[in-house]
Amino acid sequence: MELATVDRLYNEIMLLSASNQHVLYNRMKKELYSNNEVIAYTTAGKPLTKNEYIEQINIGLKQIENGEVITDDELLKEVETW
């Protein structure tokens, strides 16, 4: 964004009442810190947003509920074959 545009935007914001400035600020802050922010990475390095992270957790929990797990001993045996 060009500086002239930013200056015009700032001037327009300053024309708003204090309460409307506060409302605008809160909306902007909410948008900036929305669920689109990267909060984690997969083991492959893929960035995950908060929503994607929660989705991965829910997938893992469902796998546990469905018995899609292996024991420590089974994992150790599997690692030996790598």
30-79 residue pLDDT tens: 776 666 788 899 999 999 988 899 899 999 999 999 999 988 999 999 99
| Cβ proximity of 35 and 49 under 8 Å | yes
Q: Give yes or no: residues 26 and 45 share one domain.
A: no
Domain range for 20: 3-32
Q: Give yes or no: residues 22 and 43 share one domain.
A: no
**What's the number of domains the chain is made of?**
2
Rg (CA), the chain: 23
pTM > 0.75: yes or no: no
The reported pLDDT for the residue numbered 30 is: 77
Q: Give yes or no: residues 51 and 75 share one domain.
A: yes
Q: Give yes or no: residues 26 and 48 share one domain.
A: no
Q: Give yes or no: residues 44 and 76 share one domain.
A: yes
Q: Give yes or no: residues 64 and 46 share one domain.
A: yes
Amino acid at 17: S
